[in-house]
A and B are shown apart, each in its own frame.
Chain A
Amino acid sequence: MAESPLRVLIVDDEGPARHRLRELLDDCAAVLPLAIVGEAQHGREALDILHSAPADLVLTDIHMPGMDGIELARHLLKLPRPPVVIFTTAFHQHALAAFEVNAVDYLVKPVRVQRLLAALQKVPRLKPMTMEKLTQLPASARRFLSVTERSRVVLVPVDEVVYLKAELKYITIRTGQREYLLEESLTRLEQEFGNRFVRVHRNCLVARDFIRGFERRANDEGDAHWEVLLHGIDESLPVSRRQQYIVREIGREAMNGAAAA
């Protein structure tokens, strides 16, 4: 069986770093058949390239504007055939401890050609990383949520999300325009994004920025409850009895905000 070349994508926000990796990969090409499918400056660009030019390996920097390497790795897992990810980083040991513990592959910059070659030779035996491992890494909250639609990864900017609602085994993401279906845990999302969302119900997180107000409504049996009114969309969501305290809390914050302004 003829070996097909290893397809590699380079992701780094610094031009010289991408250039250097390309040079080193060219050196490795003498020993190992490989093809560079492209270069991206940040995570989003990498996902765009991968939709038209699939790769077996993504060599990505960690610290990048727009979308960092760890977030990119998480979104890559949504691809039908996720590539192997190897991080390249100039971070010092302290930050890399978490990588060691979770056996995540990385190369330290400046990268040595021998190390790179060894990593490339390992790739066919490597499995894509698991979400489990990735969430253990020291990363800040994601900037995007990602869903798979027709084998493409669609990115939903977190700051456009109006609410997240758990329904059966999926979470509905609601933005001003439309809905998406996400397969994640609401509790995990609540932990990851902290103060951005507020839990109004056992199954629902609402973005604070999109809360327009609250309204008291009575149902058919005459029991009154609060409803959250939203900016941008003509929907309202019920506040559960247990979460009622947030109505007063957010109301107070709004008053303080108005007083300060």
Chain B
Amino acid sequence: MLPDLRNLGTILRILVAVNGAALAIALAREPRLPLVLAEWARLTGFVEPHLFAELAVLWLLQPWLAGRRGRVAIAVVTLVTCAIGIGADALTPRMAGDVPGALVRHLVFALAAQFLLIGYFRLRARALSPAITEARLQALQARIRPHFLFNSITAVLSLMRSEPRRAEAALEDLADLFRVLMRDNRELAPLADEVELCRQYLDLEQLRLGDRLVIDWNVKSMPGDALVPPLVLQPLLENAVYHGIEPLTTQGVLSINIFLSRDEVHAILKNPYAANGARHQVGNRMALDNIRERLALHFDAEASLESRVTRDAYEVHIRMPYRTHKPATAGEAGTASPQPDGRADRGTQKRRQSRGQRPLPGTPATRIEPWLNHPSAS
């Protein structure tokens, strides 16, 4: 129901909207144009303390609010707005020229702004929710080049007679990979799962490419419980293999570096880069756009994806907020599902190993986690 009140994008939108409204009021009240700015400054000087106090309180309440039903949450926000209005009024020194009833007027303005903003965020969520479905579909379509599937099957077939056990493991990896590709990928999922998927995928590539592919894993300090959009890394690795390793006749190193820094999850992927691979670049850009779009839908301005070409390497850097519980994202618009986990203290959640006991908000109990019963973690 409510937007994620800890999201930088949400906070910026609220700040812009309220200050924009103040400017509009200043324009309406002050006919002399040069004085409009002064009027605006006077208004914002009055409004800003209210606004910051409200945002701060809501920031603190966010994990608790995220677990409430929509109506309860809105009622609580309304109470906060009123309390701050009354409190600020009590603290303001009375002046001779004050008109009685100022408090009521201010409260009416504050509540009007609050409900307009809630309405705006609701509409925005509704507008974005088909976009998430769409992004999911795109994710399915853009993923996995057919040549990877058929070459992998050829590789498995080549093992059948000589090394049947390796063939079995490879087929299981392939099955797991496709289970993830075909499931509903709208919800955020633990980073550890995404990394496990990447390992299975790269095992298959290794089978095909042999020692042409060297993988430099650097994920010891990664926060495995961080929630990330599914398939946020695998497509990038697929690109790295396709554009960076396959065009080489010699050995190529793919490096994967995932770590936590100042409450942000960073993933840096690097692969060799051959300048004359221009004909493949379109496919790569599509994958980057797709991931960038999904990052924006889930994390708004708090996540970013940057790619750069150095002399002989191609590097993608993803930055995401470190989240361990599901915020009320746009994707949940209209499904006022209770979130059993939302109210738990954030700190204890960080430490918890989420694998296997991950809550699945808003999904039926029949959903099976693909790698829980996967014995060969080779």
Contacts and interface: CB of A to CB of B under 8 A. Distances in A.
A38 to B, nearest CB: 17
Contact of A91 (B147, B248, B279): B147
A169 interface: no
A110 B157 contact: yes
A66 interface: yes
A226 B153 CA distance: 59
Given A15-B210, A23-B161, A108 B150 contact: yes
Nearest to B246: A65
Contacts of A42: 249
Contacts of A41: 249
A90 B155 contact: no
Contacts of A14: 151, 154-155, 208-210
Interface residues of B, number: 22
A63 interface: yes
Contact of A17 (B158, B246, B249): B158
Interface in B104-156: 146-147, 149-151, 153-155
B249 A16 contact: no
Contacts, number: 59
Given A66-B249, A109-B154, A110-B157, A90 B209 contact: no
A17 to B, nearest CB: 5
Contact of B208 (A16, A66, A108): A16
Interface in A187-226: none
A109 B157 CA distance: 11
Contacts of B207: 16
A4 interface: no
Given A14-B208, A42-B249, A110 B153 contact: yes
A65 B154 contact: no
B240 to A, nearest CB: 15
Interface in A146-189: none
Contacts of A110: 150, 153-154, 157
B247 interface: yes
A92 interface: yes
A63 B159 CA distance: 22
A81 interface: no
A161 to B, nearest CB: 15
A16 B147 contact: no
Closest 7 CB pairs of A and B: A90-B150, A16-B155, A16-B158, A20-B158, A90-B147, A66-B249, A19-B158
7 contacts: A14-B154, A17-B158, A19-B162, A41-B249, A63-B147, A66-B249, A109-B153
Given A19-B162, A63-B246, A65-B249, 6 more contacts: A14-B151, A14-B209, A23-B161, A66-B249, A90-B146, A90-B150
